[in-house]
Amino acid sequence: MSTAGGPAFHHDDPGTPEPTWLTDARWTGRPVLDLDALAARFDRLVVAAAHPDDETLAVGALAAAAHRRGADVRVVVASAGEASHPEATTWTPLELARVRRAEVAEAVGHLAPGAPVEHLDLPDGRLAEHEARLADLLAERCGPDTLLVAPWTADGHPDHDALGRAAVVAAARTGATPAHYPLWLWHWGGPDDLDWSRVHVVEPTLDDLARKERALAAHRSQTEPLGPATGDGPVVTGPVLARARRVVETLLAEPGTLPVLGGRDPDDPDRTDVDRARPFDAMFDGSADPWGFDGSFYEARKRAMTAALLGRERYRRVLEIGCATGVLTRDLAERADDLVAMDVSPRALEQARHDAPAHVRWVLGAAPDGVPDERFDLVVLSEVGYFLTPTDWLETLRVVRDRLSDGGEVVLVHWRHPTEGIPLDGPTVHAQATTALADLGHRAGHADADVLADVWGGPASVAADEGRR
């Protein structure tokens, strides 16, 4: 795939590693879309896709979120994607077109039940030859209160770039607001290729992400082999799916054209740690042990499991994020020269300080903003990730990666069951950490009916580290 003078790449390439993208510091402070205001401001969301599956891979969760808020969602597919497998041995382009039309209908049915899918039936791979016609067709479907979402104009695929340019023309003609999504840019490009001044972050709910996952599964002709030959292989490979499964999506738009949430600045009074702490502090109104740590075999087993997964007998500097009443903190302190335990709840820290080891430093604060600007050999996050918004979870992973010493370890431990009333759940938290921290290497993990525990970094082999063979 390439454009004249543009990037040359192949879908089978591994692409840019996710840690390169997700740990880039330029994500910090990017505006987050106010999805409620978005649905109120625009009477229609038109999602333009060059091929069936673009709508799901890039903005499936946005479509689900807008539909859930009552927006009129419409998907316009420029081509049937019949050229996705030019060397296929089992399916003809005509058969592919028929199947892919059915797949996008199924996918949109998961994302936005009842939303229409319109096919423009222009030739796959040749949209640039029909750019003026594309602009006309998009303009017919837009008005001044339309949000028109299309591929980025420099996405690197000729069809994507042409559709993106046509969307700009259609929006200018009708007064619609244009926004663009990267898709192949994530694959061939790097952070310096992204126009950060335009970046807006979409924060889906767990339900939005679940709908997107079902929609991804609908595009079987792209994610599964068509047959046994090399030319029958999937186009949407593992790295592409990993990017599609981020806990956030990305839109590129001119600053000020889309409604965004306030309070992303840590100094904003609407986003203080006092507000974050309030529900946790309230839990202490009826008990000094609101989580039932004392006398629980489940909790004791989880702490023992966490300790057993650590790759070193002793650490110089340890950070525990979300220490609560300090039960796990005491176990970690036995293996640390210096331990920083932080929590957003003053009342939790008040309990944690009782008879605590002298070398523990207690820090009142919330991730990601409150993480101390120090280096640590071990960072532990137990039962904390799912209380954070998707944006804050990614920012926390970036901060943790930045604070980690060479050879350091990151440990995550979370409840595996469904959650209610909080932004994320354990499987989602761990899945995102798996891609964001992939460069550290996944050293150990445990999963049972109740608990997920994973370790990134540290010694590749504890036995080898001790000199055993």
Task: State residue 266's pLDDT score.
Answer: 35
Among 224, 252, 280, residue at a domain's last position: 252
Task: State residue 267's pLDDT score.
Answer: 36
432 CB-near residues (< 8 Å, 6+ apart): 246, 247, 393, 394, 397
Asked if 227 and 304 sit in the same domain, the reply is no
Asked if 127 and 226 sit in the same domain, the reply is yes
Dihedral sign (CA 253, 257, 260, 264)? positive
Is residue 462 helix, strand or coil? Answer: helix
Model confidence pLDDT, tens digit, residues 430-456? 999 999 999 999 999 999 999 999 999
Asked if 244 and 333 sit in the same domain, the reply is no
Asked if 307 and 239 sit in the same domain, the reply is no
Asked if 24 and 143 sit in the same domain, the reply is yes
Among 219, 252, 285, residue at a domain's last position: 252
**If you ran DSSP here, which 8-state letter would residue 2 be given?**
B
d(Cα 382, Cα 175) in Å, to the nearest integer?
A: 49
Adjacency order of strands within the sheet including 336-343: 360-364, 336-343, 315-321, 376-382, 404-415, 451-457, 442-447
Residue 208 near residue 247 (C-beta atoms within 8 A):
no
| Residue 266 burial (CB count, 10 A) | 14
Domain that holds residue 236: 18-252
Asked if 338 and 245 sit in the same domain, the reply is no
Among 199, 225, 252, residue at a domain's last position: 252
Residue 23 near residue 397 (C-beta atoms within 8 A):
yes
Model confidence pLDDT, tens digit, residues 141-194? 999 999 999 999 999 999 999 999 999 999 999 999 999 999 999 999 999 999
Share of the chain above pLDDT 90, in %: 87
Tell me what the pLDDT averaged over the chain comes to: 94
Task: Say how many domains are in the chain.
Answer: 2
Task: State residue 8's pLDDT score.
Answer: 77
Specify the CATH number for the domain of residue 64.
Answer: 3.40.50.10320
Residue 365 is assigned to a structural domain of this protein? yes
Residue 290 is assigned to a structural domain of this protein? no
Asked if 315 and 434 sit in the same domain, the reply is yes
Asked if 301 and 214 sit in the same domain, the reply is no
Tokens of 326: 């300090």
Asked if 100 and 220 sit in the same domain, the reply is yes
Residue 4 is assigned to a structural domain of this protein? no
295: left (phi over 0), alpha (psi -120 to 50) or beta: left
Task: State residue 268's pLDDT score.
Answer: 42
Residue 166 is assigned to a structural domain of this protein? yes
Asked if 236 and 306 sit in the same domain, the reply is no
Terminal Cα distance for the chain, rounded: 48
Tokens of 330: 């005491």
327 CB-near residues (< 8 Å, 6+ apart): 293, 299, 303
Asked if 100 and 34 sit in the same domain, the reply is yes
Side chain identity at residue 88, one-letter code = A
Low-confidence ranges of the chain (pLDDT < 70): 1-6, 263-273, 281, 285
Task: State residue 52's pLDDT score.
Answer: 98
In this prediction the pTM is: 0.93
Asked if 233 and 309 sit in the same domain, the reply is no
